[in-house]
Amino acid sequence: MTETHIWTMGNAAKTYCLRWIAAEVERRGEDAPLTILDLGSGTSANFASFLEAYPQVGYIGVDPAAGACDVARQTLPQRDNIRVINALAYDLYGRVITEPVDVIVSFSVLEHVVQRPRYLQTAYDCLKPGGTFLINYDSGHFNPNRDLKEKLKTWLSPWMARLGMEGHYQKFVREQDFQQWIKQVGFELIEAKSFNTQLKGLHKRIPAQYKEEHQRRWLAYEEWLNTVVTDYNDGDAFLWLSRNFILRK
């Protein structure tokens, strides 16, 4: 595969992470396959074509929505090294995940997690020593220009979570809190980047025949932006809709 291959579209952070994983798979070769744990995997659509291209890669998707898990099981390749588990992503190791994995991903999930330090601890526990955690989370839900429905959902979600409806929860992730949590858990911070400028919204308007080319140019532009705009604070959250981190155990 080429370095410019696009595995998923519509989100620069996810595209960046999948390209990073593909490079790691290529570096290892077929004799040293890796296993990916996808926390909050949804329908696993991000990995459908990726797993077709790399049959040596193992995949475990975990999501609390039974319907999404059913779709994932129908969408993903039917192989012994691919599993989809319907569960909350807390305290998985030793209960659901019996062997540590090489790579964990968490795409656009943390902003919906109620017990965030516990979630990050779960990721740490499920990784092999030296393993990599690629996590991004979004702030677009909290944009002051969002519609009334989204604002009401943000306001009501903590109360709904108390009643056991965690799936509807959403709360802004503060940079300082996240940095503190990963330090407490024991992760080493390898890289921090910001993605998904307003080009994310524009992507929906691009004609289908040009979407892949737009995704490629969009990612390249935002990667360049990260080399010249290196400072970040919570006030930048509506310029960059996603924060992206590479962490190591």
Asked if residue 50 lies in contact with residue 22, where contact means CB atoms within 8 angstroms, the answer is yes
User: How many Å apart are CA 71 and CA 42, to the nearest integer?
Assistant: 9
The answer, yes or no, to whether residue 166 has pLDDT greater than 90, is: no
Q: Which residue has the higher pLDDT, 144 or 235?
A: 235
Q: Which residue has the higher pLDDT, 163 or 223?
A: 223
Is 164's pLDDT higher than 90?
no
- Other CB atoms within 10 Å distance of the CB of residue 86: 16
**pLDDT at residue 12 tops 70:** yes
Domain map (residue ranges) of the chain: 12-144+170-248
Residue 162 has a pLDDT of 58
Of residues 167, 186, 181, the one with CA closest to residue 117: 181
Interval 179-225: pLDDT, tens: 999 999 999 999 999 999 989 999 999 999 999 999 999 999 999 99
Say if residue 2's pLDDT is above 60.
Answer: no
Using the predicted structure, report yes or no on whether residue 153 has a pLDDT greater than 90.
Answer: no
Beta-sheet pairing, 101-107 with 127-138: parallel
> pTM value?
0.92
Residue 157 has pLDDT above 90, yes or no: no
Say whether pLDDT at 32 is over 90: no
- What phi-psi label fits residue 64: left (phi over 0), alpha (psi between -120 and 50 degrees) or beta? alpha
58 in Cβ contact with 82 (< 8 Å): yes
CATH of 12-144+170-248, one of 3.40.50.150, 3.40.50.620, 2.60.40.420, 3.30.40.10: 3.40.50.150
- pLDDT-derived band at 5 (thresholds 50, 70, 90) equals confident
Backbone angles phi, psi at 202, to 5 degrees: -65, -30
- The full length of the chain comes to 249
pLDDT digits (tens, 9 = 90+) for 50-73: 999 999 999 999 999 999 999 999
- Give the pLDDT confidence score for residue 178 in this predicted structure: 98
| pLDDT range class, residue 168, cuts 50, 70, 90 | confident
- Give tens-digit pLDDT for 85-140: 999 999 999 999 999 999 999 999 999 999 999 999 999 999 999 999 999 999 87
Question: Bigger pLDDT: 12 or 161?
Answer: 12
Angstrom distance (rounded) from CA 244 to CA 62 = 20
